[in-house]
Structure 1
Amino acid sequence: MSETVLLQLSGILVLGVVAQWLAWMLRIPSIVFLLLIGVVAGPITGFLKPDELFGALLLPFVSLCVGVILYEGGMNLRLSELRNLGGVFTRLILLGSLISWAFTAAAAHYLLGLSWAVSLLMGAILIVTGPTVIGPILRNVRIRGPAASLLKWEGIVIDPLGAILAVLVFTGVGAANLNEGVAEVARDFAYLIGSGLIFGVAAAFALIYALKTYRVPDYLHNPFSLMLMAASFTGSTFVQHESGLLAVTIMGMIIANQRRVPIKHILEFKEAITVLLISTLFILLAARLTMDDLRALGWRDFLFVLSLLALGRPLSVLLSTFGKSLKWNERIFLMAMAPRGIVAAAVTSVFAITMVDAGYAEANHMISATFLLVFVSVLVYGIASRPLANRLHLSGENPQGVIFVGAHEWGREIAQALAKAGIAVLLIDRNRVNASAARMMGLTVQIGDALDEHLIEELNISPYARLIALTPNDELNSLICLRFTEEFGRNEVYQLPFSLDRGAKAGVSLDHRGRFFPSDRHTYSVLDALFEQGYRVKVNKITEQFDLRKLVASYEGEVVPLFVLKAVGTLEVFTADARPVVEPGDRVLSLVPGGATDGQKPENAPSN
């Protein structure tokens, strides 16, 4: 018996991580694989039996895990992202939710044949979108601006509101008469909002105070944060059912927007936990389905799903954003993006059982219909999001651009060579002389500090796939790379190697710096000396007869390969830890000997 339990528990973890890895490899939303694995492991093969495995702990475990996911989501919300968008967001959340609720309830009643009581409850639950799906889609599509901010905020804020609305509907449905129903709904609404606010604010300020006054050691920051989140969620839920989701979202938002204590290490920890929890929850909830649930799905269910995607979402966005400042391409993208995720699946599973116990036998059908909606919406939006964003000019089709930090003379020359080769480049520098010189060369420049959060939020990074820090300050280069790891990943942030006279830094872990470009010995001073000697950047095409080795041998002096422009249009970077494979048809950008074009070195103002 114990071996069977261990096998199932290990199987959930192994299958969940494998699904996440496959999704990353194939660039498909992980929920697609997680749901398929859950269905195969549960109703089809019988390998996984969640109700037997967890017993009465299953649904409380699911609820607490959803709380952790929304807490992590709240910690990603920055109020600055809604600058000039507050009115649009408010209408999208309030008016858009009401329209979506009404449409979904009507579709559930007339298409699925559910009673009005069950249909209204289902409509309330399905107003939610999925932050666990929206986030990966936005990272994959790489859009910025109002559409991305609105989708991100809607995906997180709407989840606790959907749960609150579901509670209010359930209360109203169970009331004996209209007057009693209105009174009970008003009372529950007050308890929901009040308990969510009180517990969320209290937990957030308790965490901020504890960290600010150093009353908690560093190694306990993450456990302490998780403990307060669980206490806030549970305490609020005890006061009023489902209010815990609001409490943890508020807690996360307060922590994200304060400036008293750093939270990056806590956020990274929560992100790692969230990946495991999402994997576990989707497999568990999908495995709870039965073969009867799957057989009950028919053409009406698919029509129900299609109506929500093709009519319900576009209608709610169109009406709630009418007359606002959104551009039409942004509005259309919002209309075509409303995937459902773990919150919809989890809340439906909880309320279906409650409704069945209350005498609504058809409420069980909510579970299978909701899982179908989750699967289809994730699949459709996950596949269609990038082509749609490209078509609407919200994202580049295959971004290969480079952000350079440091617009000094030879930084400008390297950037210009890439720009002439057809690669998008952006230079960031605080020095206005350098920035002006770059603009005179026709290059795109942003004046400012690369570590300034406001500058980063305003940047449109969709055309860019990597960053290279070229400043003479080794520590600054490392900090810049660490900051932009969130945008591009560790494999696509680069910096110049540490100065040769600072050998103690040679052993600095890659966790605390970028990859060394273009090798481990071409420091800022070395490259600066080469340019002083008249070296220049040149592009050479590789053929069968003229490979990289012959390219290097064709010059008298050192040749420093910098980039490879592959024949298929991608860009690869030469680094200390990886030398790209160069094939016939590729173009190599190298630093080669051969005098400055004008015979003298241009003015080079200090950078950063």
Structure 2
Amino acid sequence: MENSIFVLITIVGISIAIVDVYLKKTGLPVIIFYLIIGLLVGVSGLNILNSHGLNEIYFLAIEIMVALIVFEGAFAINIESLKRVSSVVRKLISIGFLVTFFASSFVVYLSGLLDLQTSFIVGSLVTVSGPTVISPLVKRASLNEKVKAVLIGESILIDPIGAIFAIFVLDIVLSGIHADPIFWIFSRVIIGILFGLIASLIMWLCLRISKKFEKDEILLLLVGSAVATFSFSEIIADGSGLLSVVTLGVMLSGMDIPSKKEVQKTQDIFVRISIAGVFILASAVVDLNVVIALWPKGFIVIGLIVLLIRPLCVLISSYQSSLSIKEKAYISLVSPRGVVAAALAAFAGEKISSDDGAIVVALVFLIIVITVVSQFSYAGLLSRLLGVESMKALISGNGEISKRIADELSSNGYQVLVILSNEEDGYFDNSDEKIKIYKGSAADEKFIHSLNLREVNIVAGVSDSDENNLLFIQIVKTIKPDVKSYALVNTLDSITAFESLGIKAIKKADAAASSLLELMGNPSIHNVIGGEGEPRLVLEVEVARGIKGKKVKSLSLPNGVLVILIHRKDDEVVPRGETVLQNGDKLLLFGRSTNVNLARDMLLQFN
């Protein structure tokens, strides 16, 4: 067994080096490569890695790595976004979960692949999606906040619930219905949540006692607390660990933690290693001959689960919600299966008799591959067709000003496209997935046309050349005339040329002087907007047709968002709760940036 452990470490290490450094550039989901590597070294290939060689270490390694993955996903969740769609997520992980379980089980049974009892095991395994596949898909497709919140929230919360439920169903199938498994499932839920809450309270106290933590110290504190919480919860009640780390992660995501974004990026390294290990281990026990033998029944089953059962669940769960029809359609067609399904299938396959166990593993493996490959391939295109993408901003120019603007827009929910000449470098890197760098000339019309500007709402020219800025914005406005355009002007004489074309322009010296005077003259306002914690944001949103005639107090804006002013034609109205909105009104919103962006998305959906 000792040699098998070193073999596993070697395979995972080499795989990460090859996949994350080289094969990732192909644009394909990395888990596909890990699944292929698992097949090559597992029972269907060289047979140098299998569950028998690793014994108990096989399932222990999977459990710990899954716990780290799920914790990272829970810690990255946007609590305020989740609150806006909490009813949809709540129904998806309850009503939708049960509909998926029963409907999938009966579809498998009616196909004749397995008996009814074993079909229930498959049904329990395919209920979960998971942040390992949803998170990269959401980043790839650049979705709006509501759709992103539903998909991420569902994937994170359904993982531990699905894991506990799958083990519960497996126990029922193997030992029959009796009091033990029923007591087991409720006790694991209660204990998991309880330990997660206790751990989060301890973490909160640690952060309150000392606020002077370095980024590395915060990272160690978070990872250490996750591992300790999972392990201690498992010691007290095996099977409760996943729910405890999810509870801990969700609670921590709502806390004001120093260097939070930087820590999340660094924490991603642990998650990448865990993802590689889990998918390689899970696919190593898959028998390819059994997978091939599933044609055509297995493929029909998967088609029904993806194209019929999933949309039905979303339709039921999102009834009378704030989601638009297009947003519901997108969520219906996106639900790839991930790491928990793979890990649980490997576990279930070992517990069931050889033939049925092999079919269970093969069927779950097949649904993971098909959903991941197909949905990753069409996720971006589908988001554009249905109009559920996040808003985009286009910037031309390098330097500190360009970087600051890009960072602010990115943090406020925009997908930012930055054009740099081939010579420009130094200020931008590829660490932020919301900021995409394009090398080329901002004055090249053919190049600008190639950027797909359909979803661009804002364009800004901030290079050192007024001529290039003017030409760049003119090209963009020929493609999209209604785009909001801004420019930083280097010489005073150029301002008239910009303003004559409807471009809002400001001279560099004026911008610096205004900022300094505001800081000198209004320190209290500056402290409110630039203080500690999440930055505040002032944003203008035009009243949509669907809310014309409504009162301000009936808008149900997110917590802490204020309508501080209404621009109405040539007048300015200080709003009250009873103020009735009119067509063409522009609302000036103020609050925490996350909440203001949610309010904007909510108001724009009434168009």
- Summarize the Cα distance change of 1:120–1:395 in structure 2 as closer, same or farther, 3 Å threshold: same
For residues 8 and 17 of structure 2, what CA distance do their matches in structure 1 show? 14
Query: Does the 8 Å CA contact 2:74/2:253 hold for their aligned counterparts?
Result: yes
Matched, 1:353 2:336: no
For residues 33 and 105 of structure 1, what CA distance do their matches in structure 2 show? 29
For each residue in 1:216-239, what CA deviation from the matched residue of structure 2 results, as whole angstroms up to 9, or x when unmatched?
A: 974554334333222221222233
Note the residue ranges of structure 2 that are not aligned, 5 or more in a row.
421-426, 440-459, 480-486, 500-504, 517-607
Matched, 1:88 2:85: no
Q: Which moved more, 1:113-122 or 1:216-225?
A: 216-225
Query: Does the 8 Å CA contact 1:75/1:252 hold for their aligned counterparts?
Result: yes
Query: Does the 8 Å CA contact 1:309/1:336 hold for their aligned counterparts?
Result: yes
Matched, 1:326 2:323: yes
1:100 aligned partner: 100
For each residue in 1:351-377, what CA deviation from the matched residue of structure 2 results, as whole angstroms up to 9, or x when unmatched?
A: 232334xxx852331111100110010
For residues 70-469 of structure 1, what are the structure 2 equivalents within 5 Å? 70-174=70-174, 181=178, 183-214=179-210, 218=214, 219-259=216-256, 262-356=259-353, 362-395=356-389, 401-402=394-395, 459-462=412-415, 464-466=416-418
For each residue in 1:241-274, what CA deviation from the matched residue of structure 2 results, as whole angstroms up to 9, or x when unmatched?
A: 3221101101111111112655444423321110
Query: Does the 8 Å CA contact 2:71/2:245 hold for their aligned counterparts?
Result: yes
For each residue in 1:106-145, what CA deviation from the matched residue of structure 2 results, as whole angstroms up to 9, or x when unmatched?
A: 1121125322222222212211012111111111111113
1:140 partner amino acid: R
Query: Does the 8 Å CA contact 2:417/2:436 hold for their aligned counterparts?
Result: no
- 3-state SS of paired residue (1:241): coil
For residues 340 and 79 of structure 1, what CA distance do their matches in structure 2 show? 23
- Summarize the Cα distance change of 1:279–1:595 in structure 2 as closer, same or farther, 3 Å threshold: same
- 3-state SS of paired residue (1:163): helix
Count how many residue pairs are aligned between Structure 1 and Structure 2: 471
1:19 partner amino acid: V
- Summarize the Cα distance change of 1:294–1:83 in structure 2 as closer, same or farther, 3 Å threshold: closer
For each residue in 1:532-557, what CA deviation from the matched residue of structure 2 results, as whole angstroms up to 9, or x when unmatched?
A: xxx654567xxxxxxxxxxxxxxxxx
For residues 602 and 316 of structure 1, what CA distance do their matches in structure 2 show? 51
For residues 127 and 91 of structure 1, what CA distance do their matches in structure 2 show? 13
Q: CA deviation at 1:490?
A: 8.8
- 3-state SS of paired residue (1:402): strand
For residues 93 and 326 of structure 1, what CA distance do their matches in structure 2 show? 17
For residues 3 and 93 of structure 1, what CA distance do their matches in structure 2 show? 41
For residues 204 and 3 of structure 2, what CA distance do their matches in structure 1 show? 43
Query: Does the 8 Å CA contact 1:131/1:155 hold for their aligned counterparts?
Result: yes
Could you tell me the TM-score, scaled by structure 2's length? Answer: 0.67
For residues 460 and 224 of structure 1, what CA distance do their matches in structure 2 show? 29
Query: Does the 8 Å CA contact 1:465/1:492 hold for their aligned counterparts?
Result: yes
For each residue in 1:276-326, what CA deviation from the matched residue of structure 2 results, as whole angstroms up to 9, or x when unmatched?
A: 111122122212223543454331111111111111111111122123221
Q: Give the % identical residues.
A: 19
1:248 partner amino acid: V
For residues 466-477 of structure 1, what are the structure 2 equivalents within 5 Å? 466=418
For residues 215 and 331 of structure 1, what CA distance do their matches in structure 2 show? 42
Q: Which moved more, 1:142-151 or 1:263-272?
A: 263-272
- Summarize the Cα distance change of 1:23–1:139 in structure 2 as closer, same or farther, 3 Å threshold: farther
Query: Does the 8 Å CA contact 1:172/1:185 hold for their aligned counterparts?
Result: yes
- 3-state SS of paired residue (1:258): coil
1:197 partner amino acid: I
Q: CA deviation at 1:456?
A: 6.5
Query: Does the 8 Å CA contact 1:135/1:152 hold for their aligned counterparts?
Result: yes
- 3-state SS of paired residue (1:25): helix
Q: CA deviation at 1:215?
A: 10
Query: Does the 8 Å CA contact 2:291/2:359 hold for their aligned counterparts?
Result: no
- Summarize the Cα distance change of 1:2–1:117 in structure 2 as closer, same or farther, 3 Å threshold: closer
For residues 305 and 22 of structure 1, what CA distance do their matches in structure 2 show? 31
For residues 301 and 20 of structure 2, what CA distance do their matches in structure 1 show? 29
- 3-state SS of paired residue (1:18): helix
1:322 partner amino acid: Y
For residues 89 and 220 of structure 1, what CA distance do their matches in structure 2 show? 33
- Higher gyration radius (CA): 1
2:190 partner amino acid: G
2:434 aligned partner: 488
Query: Does the 8 Å CA contact 1:563/1:590 hold for their aligned counterparts?
Result: no
For residues 68 and 361 of structure 1, what CA distance do their matches in structure 2 show? 32
- Summarize the Cα distance change of 1:206–1:264 in structure 2 as closer, same or farther, 3 Å threshold: farther
- Summarize the Cα distance change of 1:45–1:335 in structure 2 as closer, same or farther, 3 Å threshold: same
Matched, 1:596 2:494: yes
For each residue in 1:179-200, what CA deviation from the matched residue of structure 2 results, as whole angstroms up to 9, or x when unmatched?
A: xx3x434422331122101221
2:453 aligned partner: none
- Summarize the Cα distance change of 1:5–1:355 in structure 2 as closer, same or farther, 3 Å threshold: closer
- Summarize the Cα distance change of 1:492–1:361 in structure 2 as closer, same or farther, 3 Å threshold: same
Q: Which moved more, 1:40-49 or 1:301-310?
A: 40-49
For residues 312 and 48 of structure 2, what CA distance do their matches in structure 1 show? 40
1:119 partner amino acid: S
For residues 48 and 348 of structure 2, what CA distance do their matches in structure 1 show? 23
- Summarize the Cα distance change of 1:6–1:145 in structure 2 as closer, same or farther, 3 Å threshold: closer
For residues 73 and 495 of structure 2, what CA distance do their matches in structure 1 show? 53
For residues 45-56 of structure 1, what are the structure 2 equivalents within 5 Å? 45-46=45-46, 48-51=48-51, 54-56=54-56
- 3-state SS of paired residue (1:596): helix
- Summarize the Cα distance change of 1:221–1:369 in structure 2 as closer, same or farther, 3 Å threshold: same
- Summarize the Cα distance change of 1:487–1:294 in structure 2 as closer, same or farther, 3 Å threshold: closer
For residues 10 and 396 of structure 1, what CA distance do their matches in structure 2 show? 40
For residues 2 and 189 of structure 2, what CA distance do their matches in structure 1 show? 43
Q: CA deviation at 1:164?
A: 1.8
Q: CA deviation at 1:389?
A: 0.9
Q: CA deviation at 1:96?
A: 1.0
* Runs of 4+ off more than 6 Å: 1-5, 403-406, 562-566, 589-594, 599-603
For residues 252 and 49 of structure 1, what CA distance do their matches in structure 2 show? 32
- Summarize the Cα distance change of 1:56–1:142 in structure 2 as closer, same or farther, 3 Å threshold: same
For each residue in 1:388-421, what CA deviation from the matched residue of structure 2 results, as whole angstroms up to 9, or x when unmatched?
A: 1111112389x67239999xxxx9xx99xxxxxx
For each residue in 1:567-598, what CA deviation from the matched residue of structure 2 results, as whole angstroms up to 9, or x when unmatched?
A: xx9xxxxxxxxxxxxxxxxxxx9989894364
- Summarize the Cα distance change of 1:236–1:427 in structure 2 as closer, same or farther, 3 Å threshold: closer
- 3-state SS of paired residue (2:94): helix
For residues 231 and 280 of structure 1, what CA distance do their matches in structure 2 show? 20
For residues 64 and 357 of structure 2, what CA distance do their matches in structure 1 show? 23
Output the aligned Cα RMSD. 4.3
Query: Does the 8 Å CA contact 1:466/1:488 hold for their aligned counterparts?
Result: no
- 3-state SS of paired residue (2:417): strand
2:9 aligned partner: 9
- Summarize the Cα distance change of 1:112–1:162 in structure 2 as closer, same or farther, 3 Å threshold: farther
